Amino acid sequence: MAHNHDHTHSHSDNIRVAFFLNLGFTLFEIVGGFYTNSLAIISDALHDLGDSFSLGMAWYLEKHSLKASDEKYSYGYRRFSLLAALLNTIILIAGSLFILSEAIPRLLNPQHSHAGGMIFLAIVGIAVNGAAVLRVRKGQSLNAQVVSWHLLEDVLGWIAVLIVSISLLITNLPILDPILSILINIYVLFNVVRNLRKTLALFLQAVPETLDLPEIENALREIPQVQSVHHTHIWSLDGENNVLTTHLLVDPEASKADLIRIKNDVCKMTASLSLAHSTVEFEFGDDCSMSNSGHANHTH
């Protein structure tokens, strides 16, 4: 059994700072949204609340993702990030649907918003979320990069609010606020549903989208003295760290040195697959533990 644990150090301090910036501004934004009577801002506040939850879970997981496996969780604790993704998805969907139920009636009966207050909140939102983006972008981990892109979406959303609020100062079109609110929530729902499909696929242990299982098996067959490959499975713990298991039928005349060389070749071939764990079972002739009750030859 070959274990390939990529214990990279996380940038939890950067995500922690982004979390507190985002959470503090979200609370400020909720109050400001009710003060300005702007559904667009309340919509973004609920979206930011979901972001704060995501950042909080990301911070927690950055601190605990390298926790060693134990007798209860033999693969470690990385898979808990999928639970966080599902909880965050539920929060975002529920919040977006609630805001849509409030915004659609306002299309028929627009209410005036406090444009000056919206401009102030938009400027603060751009500054706070922009600072969080710059902080998180210092991290090189995939988790930090994903969080960075999520926060960048918030910056773009606040730029849209700023444009609308300035327009409200110039023209008397209060309907712009519910229109912007609906557009923000449709955009959020579109991305949430898309990410939900990916999360569910990971829960169901689908082959990661970035990997080609037939191509991996073909590469394994190219290794000298490997006669055939079967029972190859690859799935992901958390979308970043993958697990591979495979059975290799090798030349019956293969020596111990040959088996070590084959195992090293497998490690080289799978080095780019982001494997947190891999298992390679060697078989000779018809000796397969998956097809009969005999004892298969395998290496640990």
pLDDT of the residue at 248: 92
Residue ranges with strand state E in 204-284: 226-236, 242-250, 275-283
Q: 3-state DSSP: the chain helix, strand, coil percent, rounded to 5?
A: 60, 10, 30
pLDDT-derived band at 149 (thresholds 50, 70, 90) equals low
Residues written for the chain: 300
Tell me 2's DSSP state.
Answer: B
Q: Give the tokens for residue 16.
A: 């922690």
**How many H helices and E strands in the chain?**
8, 3
Neighbouring CB atoms inside 10 A of 170's CB total: 8
Q: Are 115 and 169 in contact (CB under 8 A)?
A: yes
Sheet holding 226-236, edge to edge: 226-236, 242-250, 275-283
Confidence of residue 217 (pLDDT cuts 50, 70, 90): very high
Domain residue spans of the chain? 12-203, 213-283
Question: Which CATH fold would you assign to the domain 213-283?
Answer: Alpha-Beta Plaits (3.30.70)
Lowest average pLDDT, out of 107-111, 141-145, 204-208, goes to 141-145
CATH architecture designation of domain 12-203: Up-down Bundle (1.20)
Residue with tokens 């993704």: 85
Cα gap 168→176, rounded to integer Å: 8
**Between residues 20 and 135, which one has the greater pLDDT?**
20
pLDDT value for 300: 36
Structure tokens at 269: 């071939």
Percentage of the chain exceeding pLDDT 70: 80
Give the type of residue at 30. Answer: I
Query: Who has greater pLDDT, 143 or 166?
Result: 166
For residue 296, the model assigns a pLDDT of 40
pLDDT of 233 strictly over 90: yes
Give pLDDT, residue 298: 40
- The arithmetic mean of pLDDT across residues 139-167, rounded, is 70
Express as a percent the part of the chain with pLDDT over 90: 9
Strands 242-250 and 275-283: parallel
